[in-house]
Amino acid sequence: MEEQTKFDPLDMNNYRIEKLPKMQKSGLEKWMALLGIPLAIIVFVLIYWVIDIPFLNNISAEGLDKTATARLEILGYEAFVRINYAMLAIFAASIVLWITEAVPNYLTSLLVIFCVVILGVTTEKTAFAQLGHPVMWLNILSFVLASMLVKTQVAKRFALWFIVRFGKSTSWIIFSFIIINIVLSAFISATTAKAAILLPIFMVIAAIYGAEGGRRNNFGRNLVLQNLFQINVGASGFLTGAGSNLLAAALMAGAVGGRIFSYQDWFVAGFPLAITLIFIAWFVGSKLIFPLKANERTPQIEGGMEGLKEELRKMGKMSFQEYKSIAIFVLVLILWATDKQHGISQTTVAFAGAIVALLPRIGIVNWNEVDIPWHLMLFSAGAYVLGVGLDSTGLAQTIVLASFEKLGITGTTPFWKIYLLLTSLMLFSALIFQSKTMRTLMFIPIALGIEQQFNFPPLSLAFPVALLNNHVYVLPFNSKPAALLYTTDQYSWSDTFKFGFSMMVITWIMIIIWGETVFKWLGYTNGLFF
């Protein structure tokens, strides 16, 4: 009988994603999935055919933007009201399906596209064209460039080198991951990909400091939860840090004269906020919520760092392909960062980088080596179609006006009250909704509609709301990286809730401070309180 191989906590291969335990759905999640389809059908039927909705029956052209007003004039009042009912029914049913995950997200998006066309909310040409949206192309091309880094293992080499070089103490290990996550956020837009690259590295380090084999300690809690926070919040510092950022920029383009929202515009406001929150999270986690005990500050496995050094040594010297991939991506990043100076869009720059990366003999990857999650692309296409439908019907503005009337909010309501309400809804909705794309689609049009209705400065609400979209780290089901890192068994639900919810409250305080300072200095708001 063969002797069973002993588990080696310092072997990075033991922490590959396929070897991690798969999360099973809880009883509530199973019931949600089971009831999702019939519930979505009931919601759709009730809204479209049964319920009489007063605010839809009393649509006024005065509350609509130019696009929706033009549609009203072309269709006539009764037909326009019916497509608003259809749009609301589609929107509500899709939210139910996305929340319950009764069917895959991409299938929900395909159903959305079909229903929007068949019910006349928009034309086939407009709906189907969303798959060719410039932001869709930017997403696809970003995955081409990210695949180049994954194939050459540049990202892994950089992370290993940085930890080996600077990870001399527990604090410096966490600081090292802060730098690593920020750098990767600039290059890789997929937060799950970043989590997959870093997970084996920080799991080995956790084992070195005694957090392995089911033994949890505060160093392991800090290391994994801090990485989860950094992976998500680091993405909020860059326009290309997440697909939802790109969607938000596309939706906001209309408020800035139809031009593409600039990489620089996003970076100047978003990056300082992201960095500030990441360092606050380090203090809150390692000093207040999970303070390190004396025995957690020293390695429990002697010579443990040698395992990481050996892993780095096994990678050998940097290859010419690695140098090429770095050169291509750095050039792309420079062109993205200077888009306001040269006027070339992010998508066109990404096209150039992807073409060079795919060139025979000169490039680095071939098409079969490119990892593009097409299910996410289809999901995004459906989200964009919903955005088009909301825009053409003016439904978001209509709902906002009706809701504000019920709440007693009028044109004389102070800006700061609406700012606090909308930013809190966007931020804390992440506790319920799993999709960043869906939350972007829900709240950005509402913010833009409020700005137009009450003559607030352009993007004074939409941009602050957009910067809050990546705060999806409180509970394991809030995002794919959260679900992935929960399987490491380094922390409990109560651990992640204590740390995550605390940071969510601090983030809300920070976005309020940003509204009074940074957004005011940059001209987005007139300030909040003074």
- Confidence at 205, pLDDT banded by 50, 70, 90: confident
Statement to judge: residues 141 and 277 lie in one domain: yes
User: Treating both helix axes as pointing N-terminal to C-terminal, what angle do 170-187 and 134-152 enclose, rounded to 10 degrees?
Assistant: 130
73 and 149: one domain? no
CA dihedral sign, ordered 211, 216, 217, 218: positive
In a domain, 310, yes or no: yes
My answer on whether 141 and 185 are in the same domain is yes
pLDDT of residue 281: 95
> For residue 3, what pLDDT band results from cuts at 50, 70 and 90?
very low
pLDDT > 90? residue 515: yes
Structure pTM?
Answer: 0.75
Give the percent of the chain with pLDDT over 70: 89
User: In this structure, are 169 and 45 located in the same domain?
Assistant: no
Domain interval for residue 221 = 135-236+263-368
pLDDT top residue among 289 and 490: 289
Is 497 among the domain residues?
no
Quick one: average pLDDT of 207-217? 77
Largest CA distance in the chain: 82
Please tell me the distance from the alpha carbon of residue 410 to that of residue 459, in angstroms, as a whole number: 19
- Do 298 and 340 belong together in one domain? yes
Whether the predicted pLDDT of 51 surpasses 80: yes
Whether residue 150 is contained in a domain is answered as yes
| Whole-number Å distance between alpha carbons of 55 and 70 | 20
Is 88 domain-assigned?
A: yes
CA distances from 290 to 151, 295, 431, 495 (A): 37, 14, 22, 9
Same domain membership, residue 270 and residue 190 = yes
Question: Which of the two residues, 327 and 134, has the higher pLDDT score?
Answer: 327
Max mean pLDDT range (11-25, 346-360, 376-390): 346-360
Confidence band of 325 (pLDDT split at 50, 70, 90): confident
| Strand ranges in 274-389 using DSSP code E only, listed in sequence order | none
| Structure confidence at residue 184 as a pLDDT band (50, 70, 90) | confident
Residues in the chain: 530
One domain for residues 199 and 280: yes
Do 297 and 186 sit in the same domain of this protein?
Answer: yes
Domain shared by 278 and 300, yes or no? yes
The label of the residue with tokens 């420079």 reads 334
Does pLDDT of 1 surpass 70?
A: no
Q: For residue 70, is it within any domain?
A: yes
Residue 204's nearest CA partner among 7, 11, 481 is 11
Question: What is the C-alpha separation between 489 and 321, in angstroms, rounded?
Answer: 36
Statement to judge: residues 33 and 110 lie in one domain = yes
Average confidence (pLDDT) over 493-504? 93
pLDDT of the residue at 518: 94
Identify the weakest region by mean pLDDT among 204-213, 329-338, 447-456, 486-495: 204-213
Q: Would 14 be classed as within a structural domain?
A: no
pLDDT at 293: 83
Rg over CA atoms, the chain: 24
The tally of domains found in the chain comes to 2
Q: Are residues 281 and 306 in the same domain?
A: yes
Spatial neighbors of 292 by CB under 8 A, at least 6 apart, are: 170, 218, 219, 222, 286
- Say whether pLDDT at 530 is over 70: no
Could you give the C-alpha distances from 136 to 127, 220, 496, in angstroms and in order? 14, 37, 33
312 within some domain: yes
Name the domain boundary from 351, 368, 385.
Answer: 368
Contact between 253 and 264 (Cβ < 8 Å) = no
- Of the three residues 368, 385, 412, the one that is the final residue of a domain is 368
Compute the half-sphere exposure of residue 5: CA atoms within 13 Å on the CB side of its CA: 5
Same domain? 107 vs 222: no
Considering 129, 154, 187, which residue would you say is the last residue of a domain?
129
Residue 44 lies in a domain: yes
Q: Which percentage of the chain shows pLDDT scores above 90?
A: 27
d(CA 481, CA 484): 5
- Categorize the per-residue pLDDT at 16 as very low, low, confident or very high, splitting at 50, 70 and 90: low
